[in-house]
Amino acid sequence: MTNRGLLLRSWRPALALLIFIAIWEWAARFFNIETWILPAPSLIAMEMKEVLPTFLPHVYSTIELVLVGFSIGTTIGITSATLLHHFDRVRETIYPFLILSQNIPTVVLAPLLLIWFGLGATPKIIIISMTSFFPIAVATLSGLQQTDRELLHYMKMMGATRSQLFTKLEWPHALPSIFSGIKIAATYSVMTGVVAEWLGAQKGIGVFMTLASSSYRTPRVFVAIIFAMILSLAFFSLIVLIERLLIRWNREEREA
């Protein structure tokens, strides 16, 4: 999609967002809603300006935590999917456990992780990694298994080795699916990072949110929510940009 096309498609959601904020502002003032229940957007904006210097260190802490957890989850996800793709017996044995592991709620694992690893960053990084791992592993495995069979057969007839089949055909063909999984994991990882900080931390958006809610400073809670959304959107946009740079051929095919 061209930049002009993207701009033309972006104005509608932007307008819808502005209308939503305007209605919210009007409703908060017209019905005289208490600030601790639902503050007006203008009040949230003023609160954001006031707390920004003290809030930014919390944002940096969350970004660091999410980047570490997401990187580990991505590495393990892609590596394990590649192994499962090449070893059928391992896939038949391990894959059901991967599915089963996602049926265990994070809130159930969190207390155990706290017992095993303490209140440091380790349990939070493990939770973010686990959240990121699954969509990436499933998307990678699916992408590798959807390689064009005719091309695969043709390359085998030409005498391509298993390594050449993977690097020249299967891996490039799977990249769009892999990035789909990474984009899903990117949005999940930010939200999971914020929630994981509720378990106990010194700094972070989740810590800021918990302190604000415990003192009924609702505008500050909204400030934390807005920053978490911006962070998630920025993370997602960064992945989309990397995808566009790495697999231009896929975009050109879709636009053709």
| Cα separation, 215 vs 84, whole angstroms | 49
Q: Which two tokens stand for residue 131?
A: 């959240």
- CATH number for the domain that contains residue 229: 1.10.3720.10
Predicted pLDDT of residue 43:
93
* Percent share of the chain, pLDDT over 90: 43
Cα(26)–Cα(40) distance, rounded to whole angstroms?
A: 8
Which residue has 């390594």 as its token pair? 163
List the structure tokens of 120. 């440091």
Residue 62: its pLDDT value, please?
93
Q: Compute the average pLDDT of residues 239-249.
A: 84
Task: Say whether pLDDT at 236 is over 80.
Answer: yes
In a domain, 1, yes or no: no
> 18 in a domain, yes or no?
no
Is residue 154 in some structural domain? Answer: yes
Cα gap 70→182, rounded to integer Å: 9
Question: How confident is residue 185, by pLDDT bands cut at 50, 70 and 90?
Answer: very high
Report pLDDT for 251: 58
| For range 158-184, the mean pLDDT | 89
pLDDT digits (tens, 9 = 90+) for 23-66: 999 999 999 888 889 999 999 999 999 999 999 999 999 999 99
Residue type at position 61: S
**Residue 84 domain flag:** yes
Determine the Cα–Cα distance for residues 11 and 52; give it in Å rounded to an integer.
28
Distance CA 243, CA 175 (A): 9
Say if residue 254's pLDDT is above 60.
Answer: no
What's the CA gap between 150 and 51, in Å, rounded? 60
Question: Which H helix or E strand runs over 194?
Answer: helix 171-196
Q: Is the pTM of this model over 0.75?
A: yes
Name the DSSP class of 201: -
15 is a domain residue: no
Question: What value does the mean pLDDT take over residues 59-81?
Answer: 94
24 in a domain, yes or no?
Answer: no
Question: What's the total number of domains in the chain?
Answer: 1
Torsions phi, psi of 110, nearest 5? -55, -50
Residue 97 has pLDDT above 60, yes or no: yes
* 8-state DSSP, 198: G
Answer whether residue 201 is part of any domain.
yes
Task: Write out the residue range of the structural domain in which residue 93 sits.
Answer: 37-246
Residue 37: φ, ψ to 5°: -95, -55
Indicate whether 126 belongs to any domain: yes
CA distance 13 to 204: 30
**Within a 10 A sphere around the Cβ of 244, how many other Cβ atoms?**
13
Minimum mean pLDDT among 14-23, 57-66, 211-220, 240-249: which range? 240-249
